[in-house]
Chains A and B, each alone.
Chain A
Amino acid sequence: MTGPLYLNEVISVHTSLFVAIGIGVLFGFVLERAGFGDSRNLTSIFYFRDMRVLRVMFSALVTAMLGLVILNRLGLFDYSLLLDYSLLKTYFWPQLVGGVLFGLGFVVGGYCPGTAVVGVASGKIDSIVFLIGMIVGIDIFALGMPLWGAFYKSSDMGRITLWQYFGTSMETMAEIITIAALGAFVMAWLAEKWAPYDK
């Protein structure tokens, strides 16, 4: 069957909600086994103590990226549906500002949203407090919409990928990212040897 199954109407909305729980269970289990239920394992990357976050994230990203490119090549996955309907849209400046705020929140708060949920399952009190903070933050964002609503929807670039932006092919871009990830793994290994905060 050619994916994506949901966009190809192979499965219904109703079925997709059951799928959601199953996918979530797998996601949560793997995050736990990666060590991401504990804020110390998530923040040690920023002190070059343990670059686990980088290794997990980039190997996950490359696995899924190459998987999709290969399935598309084999005719088992229709990438064009993503490009037309479901790919995340790019809003350049809001996403850059969002990245700055999120980066601050990550290192100060110790979690990101998904890992905080695993933190709660692990009995981590700081993760519960982090999620309460997030809810308050989202309320603040909602209340401030009259102030920053225009900015929030600005610099809309639509559904655009790196290969389209740089004028290359999907396969070439995937190769470049794979090589960059391998380079990042070497850098991570060197950074742990450096460990500037633990001298």
Chain B
Amino acid sequence: MNAPDYTKGYWNPFLAGIALGLVLLLTFYIMGTGLGASGAVARTAAVLSHVAAPQAVEHNLYFNGFYKSGANYPLIDWMVFEVIGVFFGGLIGVITAKRFKLSVGKGATFPVSARLLLAFVGGVVGGIGTRFAMGCTSGQALSGGATMVVGSWVFMMTVFATAFVAAYFVRKEWQ
């Protein structure tokens, strides 16, 4: 079977991995903590919800952590700035490779509307998962994994085990 177009033009995965590992190593060397992503989404959720219901958010048992008295505005945060960087880094990558294209990633025959619905549902479920796990693939699996943290390895193994099993039930989404 010929490799489909969307797999072409990228770096060798081992070289990309070593490059990613060096970025992570640099992060630990400078900051003493690793990379992250979901924390920035959580802060965004807090700020957006705060616009709609400031009192409820400030008293919410989870969001109140971002609204302690004397604390910075929730978006003035290391990980939020890092994720803004991720967007621009991704954009530089996409533009220099001439890969920017408005499209929906899905299996060839799967309907667009169904794919977008599942992207939403996956986002909701995954989003809840990041809060219980206190991190995602970047913060827990990669950064916690590289520092050999017990909970991060538990998380990583559970993520992959679950996804390999669940994949069977959504195989048409990606066929």
> Could you tell me the distance between the alpha carbons of A130 and B140 in the complex, rounded to whole angstroms?
20
Say whether A112 contacts B37, CB under 8 Å.
Answer: yes
From residue 99 to 131 of chain A, which have CB atoms closer than 8 A to chain B?
A: 99-127, 129-131
- Report if A92-B154 is in contact (Cβ < 8 Å); known contacts: A16-B78, A59-B17: yes
Least CB distance, B53 to chain A, in whole angstroms: 10
| Min distance, Cβ B11 to any Cβ of chain A, angstroms | 5
Q: Does A88 make an interface contact (CB < 8 A)?
A: yes
Number of interface residues of B (CB under 8 A): 127
Please, what's the 1-or-0 string for B109-144, where 1 marks a CB less than 8 Å from any CB in chain A? Answer: 000000110111111111111111111111111111
1/0 per residue, CB under 8 A from A, across B44-62: the answer is: 1110110000000100111
Residue pair B14, A117 in contact (C-beta under 8 Å)? no
Given contacts A3-B30, A142-B63, contact A32 B97 (CB under 8 A): yes
A155: nearest chain-B partner, CB-CB: B151
Residues in A neighbouring B156, C-beta threshold 8 A? 99
Name 13 A/B residue pairs within 8 A (Cβ), A-sorted.
Answer: A23-B35, A24-B83, A26-B89, A46-B174, A47-B171, A61-B146, A98-B130, A99-B162, A101-B125, A129-B119, A137-B124, A145-B60, A173-B148
Query: Which residues in A have some Cβ–Cβ distance to B below 8 Å?
Result: 3-7, 11, 16-17, 19-35, 37-41, 43-44, 46-47, 50, 52, 55-65, 67-68, 71, 77, 81-82, 85-92, 94-127, 129-143, 145-146, 148-149, 152, 157, 159-163, 165, 170, 173-174, 177, 197-198
Residues of chain B having any CB pair with chain A under 8 Å: 1, 4, 6-7, 10-11, 13-14, 16-38, 40-42, 44-46, 48-49, 57, 60-63, 76, 78-79, 81-94, 97, 99-107, 115-116, 118-164, 166-167, 170-171, 173-175
